[in-house]
Amino acid sequence: MKDTLTLENPILINGKEVSELTYDAKEITALQFSEACARSAALDKTKTFAFKMRENDYALHLYLGFMAIIAVNPDIDVSDLERMKGQDINRTANIGLLFTLGRLGGALQEKNSDALSENTADTSTPA
């Protein structure tokens, strides 16, 4: 299902100013996922060990958001989308974050459950 990202700061794509981009993260291919991972890794120029996971790799989220746009707009290139600025970057990264968390088609919110949680045994030793 295509959604629309409305840009606060329009960007030039193929010589035209664009303020709305359609996207569908469910259409991201394995090749696009791999490209997003590679582009994210290429940005990491640190010499220190940093433990990265998909869930906290913000560059990966951004590039996955780009891939969700490209998946339904193959005439758009990553270099076009890299001209985004301001909050448009955060909104695009949120698309990738939802993809990473497996929460496509929904907002970032916890599942509510009507079931009662079970009690766990207290394994602490009294002082």
pLDDT of 43 reads 78
The pTM (predicted TM-score) of the whole model is 0.75
Beta-carbon count within 10 A of 63 CB: 27
pLDDT tens for each residue of 14-44: 999 999 999 999 999 999 999 998 998 887 7
pLDDT tens for each residue of 68-90: 999 999 999 999 999 999 999 99
* Residue 103 buriedness (CB in 10 A; 0-12 / 13-18 / 19+): middle
pLDDT of 113 reads 43
The torsion region of residue 102 among left (phi > 0), alpha (psi -120 to 50) and beta comes to left
pLDDT of 50 reads 55
pLDDT of 58 reads 81
